């Protein structure tokens, strides 16, 4: 069992919907990450939070909005997504910014 929990596991939404992806870890890690992964490709970094502050935004479109309510939770708010945004969205955490990352099993997102 992974120590990083992501919900939901699967999400199908229309281009006009608003939804949120959730990520939770209780390992006391202070850095959390969102990645996007297409089939048979490596994860692409989207956002990094360190001590609940946004540290890195890899020029992600504004239709993706991250939020870190506390040190254990990380959300990704989705609005007006495009079909090309369909992918596996992975959350990860690490003890500190430079540390090895522990990944959740991801949310499989499909945009109709």
Query: Could you say whether residue 20 binds other proteins (CB under 8 A)?
Result: no
**Residue 68 CB, nearest approach to other proteins (Å):** 15
Query: Could you say whether residue 97 binds other proteins (CB under 8 A)?
Result: yes
Q: Spell out where 39-112 has E strands.
A: 44-50, 53-57, 64-70, 73-79, 87-94, 102-103, 107-111
**Which position among 27, 54, 56, 112 is part of the footprint of other proteins (CB under 8 A)?**
56
**Residue 61 CB, nearest approach to other proteins (Å):** 19
Give 90's strand partners.
35
Nearest to 110 by CA among 14, 8, 5: 14
**Which position among 45, 60, 73, 80 is part of the footprint of other proteins (CB under 8 A)?**
45
Give ∠ CA 102-103-109 in degrees, rounded to 5: 165
C-alpha to C-alpha distance for 94 and 10, rounded to whole angstroms: 24
Query: Could you say whether residue 32 binds other proteins (CB under 8 A)?
Result: no
Contacting residues toward other proteins, per CB under 8 A = 2, 4, 6, 31, 33, 40-45, 48, 50, 55-56, 90, 92, 97-106
């Amino acid at each position: 069992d992974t120590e990083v929990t992501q919900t939901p596991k699967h999400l199908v939404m229309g281009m006009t919907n608003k939804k949120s992806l959730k990520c939770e870890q209780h390992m006391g890690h202070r850095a959390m990450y969102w990645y996007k992964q297409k089939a048979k490709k490596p994860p692409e970094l989207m956002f990094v939070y360190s001590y609940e502050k946004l540290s890195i935004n890899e020029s992600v479109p504004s239709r993706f909005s991250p939020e870190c309510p506390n040190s254990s939770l990380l959300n990704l708010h989705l609005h007006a997504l495009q079909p090309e945004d369909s992918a596996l969205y992975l959350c990860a955490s690490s003890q500190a910014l430079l540390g090895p990352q522990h990944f959740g099993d991801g949310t499989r997102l499909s945009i109709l």
